[in-house]
């Protein structure tokens, strides 16, 4: 998997088109969106199959979908300025409604999630994406490093570094959601085995 990610980033580095060289239409960007989409699907599957954590899983799914819409902000801007904010608000409203409908399965599962290895992955991924990558990609920082040589031709160095770090964060986040699915799946199998063994 990691070799595949590296190869796709290599293809981005070889591209001559500005929107494909670690831009909005790059493989790196597509991978980020794919990991977010798959993460939302995983939490949706958990919500559908596990009533004990449904409220929490719905909240996590909604969070992933809001992040996914944010990644498509440039596309939604072609519809009208602020379109992605409107869609995020709609998703947030729908998520809040369904979590309220399943409020008895939100707080307790959320507290249990904080004590799992999956939470460590998810938290680390989000810290990388939402804080470190943003600080690392500040124009002011790169201008201080490269001075007057920081021109458009060097901008791709910054973009490659920033998008690569962001992809790392989303990859770690995705590993966390997979770990959570495996954890819940073990409990489903245990419960199924207990039911089968009962006379």
Whether the model clears a pTM of 0.75, i.e. scores above it, the answer is: yes
The string of pLDDT tens digits covering residues 14-60 is 777 765 577 778 888 899 999 999 999 999 999 998 999 999 999 99
Q: What is the pLDDT of residue 22?
A: 75
Domain coordinates in residue numbering, the chain: 2-197
Structure-token pair, residue 107 = 């707080």
H-helix or E-strand spanning residue 83: helix 83-101
Give the model confidence (pLDDT) of 80-105 as tens digits. 888 899 999 999 999 999 999 999 99
If you write DSSP's letter for every residue of 139-194 in order, what string do you get? HHHHHHHHGGG--HHHHHHHHHHHHHHHHHHHHHHHHHHHHHHHHHHHHHHHHHHH
Q: 150 — phi, psi (to 5°)?
A: -80, 85
Place 152 in a pLDDT band, splitting at 50, 70 and 90: low
């Amino acid at each position: 998997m990691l070799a595949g990610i590296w190869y796709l980033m290599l293809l981005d580095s070889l591209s001559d088109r500005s929107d494909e060289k670690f831009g909005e239409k790059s493989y790196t960007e597509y991978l980020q969106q794919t990991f977010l989409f798959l993460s939302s699907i995983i939490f949706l599957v958990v919500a559908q199959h596990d009533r004990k954590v449904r409220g929490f899983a719905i909240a996590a799914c909604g969070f992933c979908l809001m992040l996914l819409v944010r990644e498509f902000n440039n596309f939604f801007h072609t519809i009208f300025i602020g379109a992605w904010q409107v869609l995020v608000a709609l998703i947030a409203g729908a998520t809040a409604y369904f979590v309220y409908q399943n409020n008895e399965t939100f707080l307790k599962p959320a507290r249990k999630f904080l004590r799992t290895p999956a939470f460590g992955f998810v938290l680390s991924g989000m810290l990388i994406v939402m804080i470190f990558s943003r600080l690392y990609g500040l124009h002011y920082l790169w201008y201080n490093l490269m001075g007057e040589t920081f021109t458009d031709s060097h901008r791709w160095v910054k973009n490659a570094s920033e998008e690569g770090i962001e992809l790392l964060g989303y990859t770690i986040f995705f590993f966390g959601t997979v770990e959570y699915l495996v954890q819940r799946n073990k409990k489903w199998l245990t419960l199924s085995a207990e039911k089968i063994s009962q006379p």
